[in-house]
Structure 1
């Protein structure tokens, strides 16, 4: 059976349970009886439940009405212990207690020496020289400081002097009569804190005017000074003195600034003054409580990110911001100066469990792009930065983000960032603006960053305007963005993780050691899927797929066998979405329309392997960069070579009489006028030694006929036919004579325009018709 303790609670003792004060009424066989003095209700609590209640936070036992219960509080003027008094009073109490204990030893020694157990001490006995020397030695050993027998000069001394016999006897009598529950330090401490005249020195009427001055004027958001309030009080006192002089009463005096300030301090507390003068938001930052709990146990479980304007002036010469400027802006700035001096914003993400920096970004404009870059850096390893900038420490590895907290900054709270965090399955919390206690960890990091690092860099502007009046930050801002990022990376990898950290849960340990300990005991949050990370945090391109895969950013190809198979199966006609991670271009993610699968494609150009997108673009720009003199030489060579080739082809065409296949500008103009005038375009003249089908016998379309055997020409005259006679009849009549007339070829006359007179011109308008030639079979073979 488990033993249940039964505490002896005196009747009338007070116990605080559940934030209520209860008074003990009785102690029975089964438990305690309590009464609530505010409501008069009575309660019966068993012994076991009372033991359990004592373990709850806020439960407090105040004791009871013992003989010495209220002695200390009454003697000290309301203080329950001498520990609340000044250090000097506590030292005097310890000195007096040591004297009383030394007197006890002196009495025991003298009683044993004289053999008188009833030896009594007196003031004269304590003033004897041997006894004082004995007391000095014992008090020095107990008190720990040298004690002297007498004061060499008058006045108060810093030395500890042994009292005279009467004073020694007075303290010993108090010590001897102490109850068992009263500490000798509380009983023998001096009451210096109660000395002085406690009566008010200001009359009631003047205090009423001072209250009116503070209540109606002094507690303003414009934060008036004590002098401003005193000027306002002078007007109130002047009006009151005018009325008092009429009634033959003495005038009121004006209080000093210190009296006016002391009166305000009695009226309101410092927190209430901060709320009244600086506002509730600023008062919360100044007087609010910080975090005293351990909010995360895993790496990546809870992270904070924030942005801060760097107190630096840097040069953005040909790097960083200069790359993002347009050509027009660059030309305009070159005319003004060769460099731009500006202040940048630093974005930092910190892991709360280990206090390790997860990501850091420098941006000229804190927008969504900079925040996404911060999230990409936090979810990947930082060994590229370690190798690039020559760091010796070990940076944080890739981790997932379970809970991300940020404030209302323009680059942190936007639709792109929030949608990206939702896609990453991360919980996002928006802290209040200007509330440093909502995210104290990253706020403290910025303070450490400034006083350890930024303050030592040339171009430091100070924490506020005019902080360094004798230092020209603009003239000394010679660092560029790349150099600043190098210094910042080395700080977050080599220096900050090795600094002792005395935050809540750290206990002076270093973030690097805590990071390793957490990794061994509890581990990291699971990292993100690469395809999901590219889709939600990467860069998107809409491109048309080909047999070579997909090409992004002008000349970077990605492809895979599965991608080509899906492309053939789905028969993609439009564009596809390609997502890339600018920090890792070895792979890309392709989302096909009407496809349920997400495909991963590989980089096809091996020269770009293990390079970031900015490095690839810089390499391509380097390849395309050439010397202007060499470029002009090559351009001249190309122009000369092409001109020579053109002249050669023109010469060959002229020598071999090759008909040209193009039209001149004048020919095109004449043809256009004919077309738009409504005229019929004449057909192109047939090739040499040919005739159109069905018009073999018409002389106006064929100048000569070549025989198949000897290549001779047939000379004959056309047979005139009457109007209305068909060509077949004419040929039949000519063949009936048995002789083939010989004709000499003649050119036919041109047709007259439509509507012209036909008098005597019918035979000339119609085409000439030849008679039947000899050797028709050979002629047909020639024509075929």
Structure 2
């Protein structure tokens, strides 16, 4: 293939695909039309023989035709222009005499027949070679349904046997002009796998046509989709109510009365809340500045020293026998209580935290 120095063809991606298809690339010099007469002469002939006669033609470069308004004078649409170009390259150009080197006023059709008889035809690449070297490459992950390439599903028994029910990362190659098959490569195997299209609707479409069809399906009939969404929500709500999955707010049985709430509160009122374990000595809130609790003596380690309560002396009873003299031993008052007979203290200081 002979090409110019344009960036559209002078890049690694194009070279990789051309070399993979077995094509030899020959680059030409910049701004030298004679090095690429096949392309340059075609553009020149098209310009002067066809485009120059169409309304709205603005010349070879911007501003060539002074004072000519190409937009105002244009009469052809894009579809009409493509029709004119197609008719020219099919009906006129193959039969037009050429004066290039080695052609000697022969037409392209005559030279094609001579090359075919002398050198033979060039076999086109196989469908698999087209997919590998000229197709769209994409890294995807396998599933139980196969692989999804550009929103289109492919699957095959060989692919499922390779995955074994596990998700694996593979490299897919798809021909944009033929969606019936996709070629699959994986680092885990040297075998080349081929998967078939699972959606018959896209069998006779190109990749662009398939994507446009999916977009049209999603965006078409917005009013009808609103109706479907409304009916779907109503049907789902009815099914949930009938199944009892959610309580119906229209039924009184689904409401709690004040008496039921009171019983719930009473049931949790007796629950004991156990505080968290403390990591060190602490005090009650608000008592950090209180004086320390007195320590216990060794003799009263179990019980603190009790505070004595005041002793109340009762009046001596009047003897029933009047003959008993006041100074007799019987008439004397009872002995005062000793240390061991001290009454029980009214209260004792708190020495241990109840927490």
Report the equivalent of 2:206. 612
Distance 1:621 1:749 in 2: 64
Structure 1 residue 588 and structure 2 residue 185: aligned? Answer: no
Deviations 1:562-589 (A, max 9, x none): 2222333xx7643211111111212221
Report the equivalent of 2:105. 508
Structure 1 residue 574 and structure 2 residue 171: aligned? Answer: no
Structure 1 residue 633 and structure 2 residue 230: aligned? Answer: no
Cα RMSD (Å):
3.3
Report the equivalent of 1:489. 86
Distance 1:631 1:572 in 2: 37
Report the equivalent of 1:743. none
Instruction: Check 1:483–1:595 CA distance in 2 against 1; reply closer, same or farther (3 A cut).
Output: farther
TM alignment of 1:669-684, pairs within 5 A:
none
Deviations 1:627-679 (A, max 9, x none): 333333333333343444455544569869799xxxxxxxxxxxxxxxxxxxx
Distance 2:237 2:73 in 1: 57
Distance 1:412 1:553 in 2: 25
Tell me which of 65, 70, 76 is aligned to 1:468: 65
Deviations 1:344-371 (A, max 9, x none): xxxxxxxxxxxxxxxxxxxxxxxxxxxx
Q: Give SS of 1:610's match.
A: coil
Instruction: Check 1:750–1:436 CA distance in 2 against 1; reply closer, same or farther (3 A cut).
Output: closer
Structure 1 residue 522 and structure 2 residue 119: aligned? Answer: yes
**Cα drift, residue 526 of structure 1:** 3.0
Gaps of 5+ in 1: 1-403, 660-684, 686-700, 702-746, 756-784
Report the equivalent of 1:558. 154
Q: Give SS of 2:190's match.
A: coil
Distance 1:655 1:464 in 2: 81
Report the equivalent of 1:549. 146
Q: Give SS of 1:589's match.
A: strand
Report the equivalent of 1:603. 197
TM alignment of 1:362-441, pairs within 5 A:
404-441=1-38
* Length, aligned pairs only: 264
**Cα drift, residue 429 of structure 1:** 1.9
Q: Give SS of 1:427's match.
A: coil
Distance 1:553 1:533 in 2: 18
Q: Give SS of 1:636's match.
A: helix
Instruction: Check 1:614–1:546 CA distance in 2 against 1; reply closer, same or farther (3 A cut).
Output: same
**Cα drift, residue 462 of structure 1:** 0.8
Q: Give SS of 1:615's match.
A: helix
Q: Give SS of 1:543's match.
A: strand
Q: TM-score, normalised by structure 2?
A: 0.64
Deviations 1:401-458 (A, max 9, x none): xxx1212112111121122222223222221111122222321111111112222333
Instruction: Check 1:458–1:582 CA distance in 2 against 1; reply closer, same or farther (3 A cut).
Output: farther
Deviations 1:228-282 (A, max 9, x none): xxxxxxxxxxxxxxxxxxxxxxxxxxxxxxxxxxxxxxxxxxxxxxxxxxxxxxx
Tell me which of 133, 141, 161 is aligned to 1:536: 133
Deviations 1:585-630 (A, max 9, x none): 1222111222212222222222212221112122223333323333
Distance 1:565 1:584 in 2: 25
Distance 1:461 1:527 in 2: 39
Distance 2:248 2:146 in 1: 44
Instruction: Check 1:512–1:601 CA distance in 2 against 1; reply closer, same or farther (3 A cut).
Output: farther
Instruction: Check 1:508–1:462 CA distance in 2 against 1; reply closer, same or farther (3 A cut).
Output: same
**Cα drift, residue 748 of structure 1:** 11
Equivalent pair of 2:138/2:149 in contact (CA under 8 Å): yes
**Cα drift, residue 559 of structure 1:** 2.1
**Cα drift, residue 539 of structure 1:** 0.9
Report the equivalent of 1:221. none
Distance 1:548 1:491 in 2: 48
Instruction: Check 1:609–1:753 CA distance in 2 against 1; reply closer, same or farther (3 A cut).
Output: closer
Gaps of 5+ in 2: 256-263, 278-355
Distance 2:84 2:216 in 1: 26
Deviations 1:8-49 (A, max 9, x none): xxxxxxxxxxxxxxxxxxxxxxxxxxxxxxxxxxxxxxxxxx
TM alignment of 1:54-73, pairs within 5 A:
none
Distance 1:644 1:752 in 2: 44
Distance 1:535 1:549 in 2: 19
Distance 2:160 2:72 in 1: 58
Report the equivalent of 1:499. 96
Deviations 1:388-411 (A, max 9, x none): xxxxxxxxxxxxxxxx12121121
